[in-house]
């Protein structure tokens, strides 16, 4: 590859510390990266519900891939796939890339808070308000945070939560069980299992079961999430039902 030759000329003084992986590794990594797609652009198409984290990424890229590609164009295609930018002729869509543009959450939240309270700007600006909620899982040593506006459905949220907490729960199992994390059903068991129940605290301060109300309503009213052990969630179900009845 021309790139490698060019670089060799320039890196002569680093011969001592030059480290190599071996022939063919570059190509392999390119291949895999293509397949991997752009994991941080959470472009939530209607992927299969059963996807594990790895499957999700593979499926995503196979949809985006434009058939056979000349190896020389691999990198350019890689860039295109990664950005998932629309055709300039189409109106700009709001691609939600994590951490881009580089504006601190503190700043985003402050602006969003003002906009929603003063009704400054149109409805679409209100909808852009960031919706970070804390997520805790009983037994997990640390909290996570998710931006609910990044998702369009409960299944997307639960995929993401599964991914987030899988590293902890897998650590809990025997280390040999690492291969199991590739098993999609084990991951979904995590959340569908009667052992763990996702619940949330709503604007009124009540704890509800996740999934009871339409998605948009959930996003508006959810203040924080807690993935509880099943036994503790027993008291929640009936109340949730009542609340829904009262709302409708």
Please list every residue from 16 through 45 that binds other proteins, using CB under 8 A: 16-21, 25-26, 28-33, 36, 38-40
Instruction: Return the structure tokens found at 4.
Output: 């490698």
- Closest to other proteins by CB, 21 vs 247, is 21
- Is it true that the peptide bond before 101 is cis, omega within 30 degrees of 0? yes
> Applying CB under 8 A, which of residues 173, 178, 217, 234 lies at the interface with other proteins?
178
CB neighbour class for 213 (10 Å; exposed up to 12, middle 13-18, buried from 19): buried
Residue recorded with tokens 């895999």: 32
Residue 59 Cβ, how far from other proteins at the closest point, in Å?
14
Residue 95 Cβ, how far from other proteins at the closest point, in Å?
8
- Closest to other proteins by CB, 57 vs 219, is 57
78 binds other proteins (CB under 8 A): yes
Residue 117 Cβ, how far from other proteins at the closest point, in Å?
7
> Applying CB under 8 A, which of residues 69, 143, 217, 234 lies at the interface with other proteins?
143
76 binds other proteins (CB under 8 A): yes
Pairing of strands 144-147, 207-209: unpaired
243 binds other proteins (CB under 8 A): no
Contact pattern from residue 188 through residue 227 relative to other proteins, giving x for each residue in contact according to CB under 8 A and a dash for the rest: ----------------------------------------
- Closest to other proteins by CB, 72 vs 246, is 72
- Could you tell me which residues come within 8 angstroms of residue 2 by beta carbon, excluding any fewer than 6 positions away? none
- 165 and 53 in contact (C-beta within 8 Å)? no
> Applying CB under 8 A, which of residues 116, 128, 192, 221 lies at the interface with other proteins?
128
Helix ranges (H only) for 119-183 are: 123-127, 154-172
59 binds other proteins (CB under 8 A): no
First vs last Cα of the chain: how many Å apart?
Answer: 65
Residue 207 Cβ, how far from other proteins at the closest point, in Å?
19
Distance CA 234, CA 245 (A): 19
> Applying CB under 8 A, which of residues 63, 71, 103, 214 lies at the interface with other proteins?
103
Distance CA 54, CA 183 (A): 10
> Applying CB under 8 A, which of residues 102, 205, 235, 238 lies at the interface with other proteins?
102
Question: What are the C-alpha distances in Å from 216 to residues 24, 53, 153?
Answer: 48, 24, 9
Please list the residues that pair with 194 across neighbouring strands. none
């Amino acid at each position: 590859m021309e790139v490698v030759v060019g670089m060799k000329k320039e890196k002569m003084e680093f011969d001592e510390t030059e480290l190599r992986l071996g022939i063919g590794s570059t190509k392999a990594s390119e291949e895999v990266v293509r397949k991997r797609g752009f994991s941080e652009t959470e472009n939530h198409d209607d992927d299969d519900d059963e996807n594990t984290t790895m499957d999700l990424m593979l499926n995503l890229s196979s949809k985006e891939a434009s058939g056979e590609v000349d190896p020389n164009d691999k990198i350019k295609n890689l860039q295109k796939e990664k950005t998932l930018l629309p055709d300039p002729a189409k109106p700009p869509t709001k691609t939600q890339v994590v951490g881009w543009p580089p504006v601190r959450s503190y700043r985003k939240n402050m602006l969003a808070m003002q906009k929603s309270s003063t009704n400054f700007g149109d409805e679409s600006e209100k909808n852009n308000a960031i919706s970070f909620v804390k997520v805790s899982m009983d037994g997990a040593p640390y909290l996570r945070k998710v931006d609910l506006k990044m998702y369009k459905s409960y299944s997307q949220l639960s995929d993401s939560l599964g991914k987030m907490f899988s590293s902890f729960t897998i650590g809990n199992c025997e280390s040999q069980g690492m291969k199991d994390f590739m098993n999609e059903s084990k991951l979904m068991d995590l959340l569908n299992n009667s052992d763990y129940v996702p619940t949330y605290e709503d604007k009124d301060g009540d704890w509800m079961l996740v999934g009871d109300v339409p998605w948009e309503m959930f996003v508006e009213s959810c203040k924080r999430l807690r993935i509880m052990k099943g036994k503790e969630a027993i008291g929640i179900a009936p109340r949730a039902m009542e609340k829904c009845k009262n709302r409708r």
